[in-house]
């Protein structure tokens, strides 16, 4: 709604939404599109080191490839593949919890793209 009619949106509600993404900029009529576009880029930048260093080790090659080959990829199957070491930090745990939430929320198409991305990241390492 804010994109179409910024003045009709409750400012407090809008700030609550942006605080969820830890946006450091107060949304205005002039900057809201830029903030929304930058947010996915910010998330991607934050996830890249984790995916390159840690995620590949959490998803075993055989299990990941089996899920990817399966025509009935489901969020539940991908979540079952996550293997967490016992000695992870609080920050890593929070990050992995966010990853779980992301996986749970993915549509089938997004989940397929996510698996392709993880597979490609693993090949680059």
Query: Are the C-beta atoms of residues 57 and 121 closer than 8 Å to each other?
Result: no
Full-model pTM: 0.42
CB 96 within 8 A of CB 84: yes
Q: pLDDT class for 122, splitting at 50, 70, 90?
A: very low
Q: How far is CA 113 from CA 30, 75, 108, in A?
A: 32, 12, 9
Reported as a single tens digit per residue, the pLDDT across 2-54 is 777 878 888 888 777 777 666 667 777 887 777 766 555 656 666 677 666 66
Nearest to 37 by CA among 49, 27, 47, 50: 27
The answer for residues whose C-beta is within 8 angstroms of residue 119's C-beta and 6 or more apart is 64, 65, 68
Give first-to-last CA distance, the chain, whole Å.
42
């Amino acid at each position: 709604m804010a994109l179409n009619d910024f003045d009709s949106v409750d400012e407090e509600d809008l700030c609550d939404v942006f605080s969820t993404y830890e946006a450091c900029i107060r949304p205005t009529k002039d900057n809201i599109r830029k903030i929304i576009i930058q947010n996915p880029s910010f998330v991607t930048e934050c996830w890249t080191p984790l995916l390159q260093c840690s995620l590949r080790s959490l998803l075993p090659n055989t299990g990941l490839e089996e899920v990817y080959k399966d025509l009935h990829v489901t969020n539940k199957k991908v979540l079952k593949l996550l293997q967490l070491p016992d000695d992870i930090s609080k920050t890593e745990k929070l990050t992995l919890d966010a990853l779980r939430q992301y996986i749970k929320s993915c549509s089938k198409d997004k989940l397929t793209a996510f698996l392709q991305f993880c597979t490609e990241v693993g090949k680059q390492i």
